[in-house]
Amino acid sequence: MIKDIISNEDVKEFFSNELKRDKNSGTYLFYGSDMTLLMEFAIYFAKGLCCETLDGDFCNSCSTCKRIDSFSYSDLEILDNPDGITVDQVRSLGYVSSSSSYEGSRKIFIIKDISKMKKEAGNALLKIIEEPNNGSFFILLNTNLNILPTIKSRSIIVKIKKRSAEELGVDKFTYDFFRGNNEDIKKFKELNIDLQKGYSYMDIGKAIKHYSDNEDLESKINIYKGLRDFVNNRNYLADIDKIYFAEEIVRNSGSRNILRDIISYTVEILGDIQGLQDRLQMKKMMRAPINMKLFFINFFLKI
Ligand SMILES: [Zn+2]
C-alpha cells in the first residue's frame, strides 16, 4: 500500500490525492538522480492506477499488482532504450495506446530516459500526450529536468528524492560507497560482502569482464574498489601503469554504460577538489562519439 512505501512522504501524498481523482488519462514526469528509484515509484503508481482490489491505492496481492511487479501485465508497457526511444517506438506506442486494453480499463506506459530521445521522437510523443486516448497513462522518467519544454509543460512533474542512509538502513560508508543507489544497496544487504576488503586496481579488467558477462553486484563492487584503489594510489603510480589501467578498463567493457558509470564514480570519489570542472567536462564528453581508449588514458593520466 502507499503508506508502506519508504521515503518521499510528499510523493506518497501526491499519489493518494492523484489516484482519488479517478482521471481518464494523464502524463507524469518523475525525475531524480536515481533511475532505479524512479522505476520503483513508477511501478507503485502503475499499481495504484490498476489494482483490482483497492480504489486509489494498491494491495500488492491481487493478480494485477503481482503481474505489474513481475512486468507481465499486458496493459503495462516499459520503453527502455539506452540511446533514447526512437520515433518508430513512439509510433508503435501510439498504436497500442489507441487500441483497446487487454486487461482492465487503463493502459500504462513507462518511458525511461526521456531526455535521450531525439527531437523527431519527442515531437511524435508530444502529439500522443497532447490528445491522449481514454485510459492511457504515461509515466516519463528522467534523471534531470533537461527535457523538451513542450513535453515538460504537459506533464505533472514529480520529484523523487534519493533515500537516505537511514531510510535504507545502512551506515554512511556503505551509503557513500554505492552513492546512495537504492537498488545496489538493497541487493548488497542480501549478500555477505566485506566493503572494507581491498581490491587491487591492477585487477580491474577482471572485475569489468565478469560484470559485463554477469551484471552481478559482487563484480560491480570490485570495480568500485579497484577505482578507489587507483584514486588512493594515483600519486605514486608511473604513467605507464595509469595507461595500463585505462586500457584494461576499455578493453574489458562490454558497453558504454559501464564506461559511463566508471567515469561518474571516479569523478564522485575524487570529490570537490581542484580540477573538478575539468572532470565534469570530461563526463559530458562521454556523450559524444569519441575514441574511448584515448579518452580514458587522458582521464586517468590527468587526475
Ligand atoms: Zn492489487
Q: Say if residue 127 is in the same domain as residue 271.
A: no
118-127 confidence digits (pLDDT tens): 999 999 999 9
Distance 2 CA to ligand 1 centre (A): 11
Within a domain: 169 = no
As a whole number, the mean pLDDT across the chain is: 91
CB 182 within 8 A of CB 40: yes
Residue 260 confidence class, pLDDT cut points 50, 70, 90:
confident
pLDDT of residue 276: 62
End-to-end CA, the chain: 47
Residues 206 and 121 in one domain: no
* Structural domain range at position 141: 2-159
Q: Is 245 exposed, middle or buried (0-12, 13-18, 19+ CB in 10 A)?
A: buried
Between the CA of 39 and the centroid of ligand 1 the distance, in Å, is 18
Is residue 13 in a domain? yes
Distances (CA, A) of 108 to 12, 24, 44: 19, 12, 12
- For the stretch 154-166, pLDDT in tens is 999 999 999 999 9
Query: What is the residue-wise DSSP string for 136-194?
Result: EEEEEEESSS-S-HHHHHTSEEEE-PPPPHHHHT--HHHHHHTTT-HHHHHHHHHS---
Helix axis angle, 256-270 relative to 204-214, nearest 10°?
130
Per-residue confidence band for 282, with pLDDT thresholds at 50, 70 and 90: low
Is 108 part of a structural domain of the chain?
Answer: yes
Q: Does the residue 178 lie in any domain?
A: no
Number of structural domains found in the chain: 2
Q: How far is the CA of 84 from the centre of ligand 1 (A)?
A: 31
Residue 129 CA to ligand 1 center (angstroms) comes to 26
96 and 208 in a common domain: no
> Residue 295 corresponds to which cell in the numbers above?
579518452
Whether residue 128 is contained in a domain is answered as yes
Q: Which of 159, 187, 206 is the last residue of a domain?
A: 159
Model pLDDT for residues 50-105, shown as the tens digit of each residue: 999 999 999 999 999 999 999 999 999 999 987 889 999 999 999 888 887 776 67
pLDDT of residue 273: 58
Q: What angle do CA 32, 36, 39 make, to 5 degrees?
A: 85
Shared domain check, 116 and 43:
yes
- Residue 289 has what pLDDT? 65
Same domain, 150 and 227: no
Return the pLDDT at 159.
98
CA of residue 3 to ligand 1 center, whole Å = 14
Q: How far does residue 59's CA lie from ligand 1's centre (Å)?
A: 4
Say if 150 falls within a structural domain.
yes
- Dist. CA 231–CA 256, nearest whole Å: 21
Of the three residues 106, 135, 159, the one that is the final residue of a domain is: 159
* Same domain (yes/no): 144, 206: no
Predicted local confidence at residue 277, as pLDDT: 62
Does residue 184 sit within a domain?
Answer: no
Task: Clarify whether residues 46 and 139 are in a common domain.
Answer: yes
Do 108 and 221 lie in a common domain?
Answer: no
* Phi, psi (deg, nearest 5) at residue 301: -75, -30
Asked if 128 and 204 sit in the same domain, the reply is: no
38 plus 153 within the same structural domain: yes
Asked if residue 284 has pLDDT above 80, the reply is no
Average pLDDT over residues 12-23: 96
The CATH number linked to 52 is 3.40.50.300
Q: Is residue 44 part of a domain?
A: yes
Residue bearing cell 587522458: 298
